[in-house]
Amino acid sequence: MSLNGKVILITGGTGSFGKKFTEIVLKNYHPEKLIVFSRDELKQSEMRQIYREDDYPSLRYFIGDVRDKERLNRAMNEVDYVVHAAALKQVPSCEYNPFEAVKTNIIGAENVINTAIDNGVQKVIAISTDKAVNPVNLYGATKLTAEKMFTQGNSYSGEGGTKFSCARYGNVVGSRGSIIPLFKKQKEKGILTITDKRMTRFWITIEEGVKFVIKCIETMKGGEIFVPKIPSVKLVDIARCLAPEAKLKFIGIRPGEKINEVLVTEEESRHALEFKNFFLIEPEFSWWKKPVYQGAKKLKEGFRYTSDTNDWWLTKEEIKSMLSQ
């Protein structure tokens, strides 16, 4: 299955993921339409300077908010695939503005699900995060709720209806609000702040994330949570590679922050499969018809996929290469 000839809508289309998704789809595929759906007219205007409709006749820009069900309903007319990337994701902002986080990340998800079903969309893939696993902050809790809504959304669409799945992965290199832009800014003053020297994170580039999501669209049957195998990194190592002469200041863990991240829990591993490059968490629903996958194997009892016990770590050379991109 390919994106060629399909009508694709991406929510949050002017964000870091959305822009890279647009770039890769326009470069490698020939969709009938690619609809960039977002609420920020300035970002859309800036994106138009790079991807003009005159140069890319399949491209459309829709102003809209996932909170607005009526606008979503109009935007999804005759759409084949939806990539749901719109979210409020800054942890401190979500903690301070909890109602707003719920409106976008939960009510917005409900609106995407309902309008996709009502318009006969074939597939919807929602972008999730490691913060949704055993959440300790509101952002993670809203994304956990959204994951449950999207997997359960298949019960609302019924057999032969819209298929819903999730792609769950770790921190994205260089995305807005990530640690690298912060470190680069702090480097100018010679002091980099780290909450805890033990802290580890899963790491993935935006391009890798986009390509993984496209693969998920091609693979999904509806109800799965896809988790890529990605490397871990110590935040201390990132800081030392980025600014070897700078002083490191440890300021203590913030509210709602974890020392290490989890992408697959022990409970999930009981109904998960391992492939060469990813894990697939199968839904625990009576309607799930287990496909026969080539190259899949069951996980061992008690398996957990965590950033501190990962067997794949970025070397300092790889970190430096990543930072130079």
The residue range of the domain holding 72 is: 7-170+204-229+263-301
Is residue 191 very low, low, confident or very high in pLDDT (cuts 50, 70, 90)? very high
Q: Known catalytic residue: 148? A: no
Domain assignment present for 160: yes
Is residue 145 very low, low, confident or very high in pLDDT (cuts 50, 70, 90)? very high
User: Does residue 76 surpass a pLDDT of 60?
Assistant: yes
pLDDT at 207: 94
Residue 278's beta-bridge partner residues?
A: 228
Domain assignment present for 1: no
Contacts of 39 (CB under 8 A, 6+ apart): 63, 64, 65
Domain assignment present for 252: no
Domain assignment present for 89: yes
Q: Which tokens hold the place of 242?
A: 């980025």
Is residue 289 very low, low, confident or very high in pLDDT (cuts 50, 70, 90)? confident
Q: Report the distance separating Cα 192 and Cα 250, nearest Å.
A: 9
Domains identified in the chain, total number: 1
The mean pLDDT of the chain is 93
Domain assignment present for 235: no
pLDDT at 177: 62
Q: Which tokens hold the place of 318?
A: 């790889």
Q: Compare 315 and 254 and report the one with higher pLDDT.
A: 315
Domain assignment present for 185: no
Q: Which tokens hold the place of 257?
A: 């922050």
pLDDT at 184: 86
Long-range contacts of 310-318 (CB under 8 A, 24+ apart): 310/202, 310/231, 310/232, 312/229, 312/230, 312/231, 312/232, 313/231, 313/232, 313/233, 314/203, 314/231, 314/232, 314/233, 314/237, 316/237, 316/240, 316/241, 318/231
Q: Compare 62 and 284 and report the one with higher pLDDT.
A: 62
- Which amino acid is it at 293? Y
Domain assignment present for 325: no
Q: Are 38 and 18 in contact (CB under 8 A)?
A: yes
Candidates 75, 68, 80, 74; CA nearest to 110 is: 68
Identify the helix (H) or strand (E) that includes residue 251: none
Q: What is the CA radius of gyration of the chain?
A: 20
pLDDT tens for 228-250 read 999 999 999 999 998 989 999 99
| Catalytic residue, candidates 89, 123, 131, 163 | 131
Q: Which tokens hold the place of 74?
A: 């109009």
| Pairing, β 191-194 against β 247-250 | parallel
User: Does residue 268 surpass a pLDDT of 60?
Assistant: yes
Of how many residues is the chain composed?
325
User: Does residue 313 surpass a pLDDT of 80?
Assistant: yes
pLDDT at 321: 86
SS (H, E, C) 127-160: EEEHHHCCCCCHHHHHHHHHHHHHHHHHHHHCCC
User: Does residue 166 surpass a pLDDT of 60?
Assistant: yes
| Pairing, β 33-38 against β 59-63 | parallel
Domain assignment present for 121: yes
User: Does residue 143 surpass a pLDDT of 70?
Assistant: yes
User: Does residue 325 surpass a pLDDT of 70?
Assistant: no
Q: Report the distance separating Cα 234 and Cα 148, nearest Å.
A: 30
Is residue 1 very low, low, confident or very high in pLDDT (cuts 50, 70, 90)? low
pLDDT tens for 120-141 read 999 999 999 999 999 999 999 9
Is residue 174 very low, low, confident or very high in pLDDT (cuts 50, 70, 90)? low
Q: Report the distance separating Cα 101 and Cα 95, nearest Å.
A: 8
* CATH code of residue 153: 3.40.50.720
Residue 280's beta-bridge partner residues?
A: 226, 273
Is residue 253 very low, low, confident or very high in pLDDT (cuts 50, 70, 90)? confident
